Copies of this chain bind each other. A is one copy, B any other.
């Protein structure tokens, strides 16, 4: 069997960041794609997803997953198209989603790949509202948050991939939903387009007071994505039996050294006790990997019928992934950040 030589472009981790990542932490490489073996598929990347968790993989501090090795391709989920297949589970032309990394092509044994429907409005949805971020939002809210009609929910990064879904699903459940986002444009979008009841700009000098005003009945669910000053502002607003699903702490990912005082941990413990609150960290594919079908079945009609809206921030070309990712950690994206790597 003769194979055409495919030149793969990939972005590897050149060095570990100290604080915020810089372009020098990444390196674009070209390599010939290896030959396809029996059982494998050859994929061409359509959309690469950029997500805050990737910052953790760039560090070698202990975490829930191994770090990316130096000189290894950056980890990431992507939608790809099958270009060649020596695996009977996949046909040429199938769209698949999997952790195939920051690269234009990949060879994969298929074990962790999921074929996605061809009739999705856009392929990129499979790494966004119908992918890991959407599932994180849905499972964290429903399984840990346990929303009840009439309650108040707060979520930060409210125009982003996870926060936007958390808030909209909570609205469908009958909750009062208050978002937090950075800047007037995002806040306007969150209220006018996504239908949140309110959205507070975390860049406001008066942020904590404005959040309190928007949560007149206190906070029953705080969906934690960011940590930092949003958490501090929510803490005194928690109602008895509040729930706090924790799926990220974006504000902390670039932190260096030991955080300055005062020490807020005693206040947190006291609040957890007096409010009889529950906080639970989760990693969606560790906790809920076996519920992907359920999520997809529930969410797909909500999205395709327009009950759940979403916005994408699409960057053109793999070579721009590093700067886009650096911007993501600074909140410069507006909507789910994806890299358009190639056309189907």
Residues of A within 8 A of B (CB): 56, 62-64, 224, 227-228, 231, 240, 246-249, 252, 255, 258-283, 286-287
Contact = CB atoms under 8 A, between A and B. Distances in A.
A269 B286 contact: no
A266 B262 contact: no
Contact of A269 (B252, B272, B273, B276): B252
A279 B278 contact: yes
A76 B339 CA distance: 63
Nearest to A258: B262
A332 to B, nearest CB: 22
Given A252-B266, A266-B252, A278 B276 contact: no
21 contacts: A56-B274, A63-B274, A64-B240, A64-B275, A64-B276, A228-B266, A248-B273, A255-B266, A258-B262, A259-B261, A260-B262, A264-B265, A265-B268, A272-B279, A272-B281, A273-B283, A274-B281, A275-B281, A276-B280, A276-B283, A276-B286
Nearest to A260: B261
A252 to B, nearest CB: 5
A63 B273 CA distance: 9
Contacts of A282: 273, 276
A227 B64 contact: no
B281 A287 contact: no
A177 to B, nearest CB: 22
A124 to B, nearest CB: 26
Contacts of A56: 274
Nearest to A277: B281
A270 to B, nearest CB: 6
Nearest to A243: B280
A271 B282 CA distance: 11
A280 B281 contact: no
Contacts of A273: 64, 246-249, 281-283
A19 to B, nearest CB: 14
Contacts of A63: 274
Contacts of A240: 64
A304 to B, nearest CB: 32
Contacts of A269: 224, 227, 231, 246, 249, 252
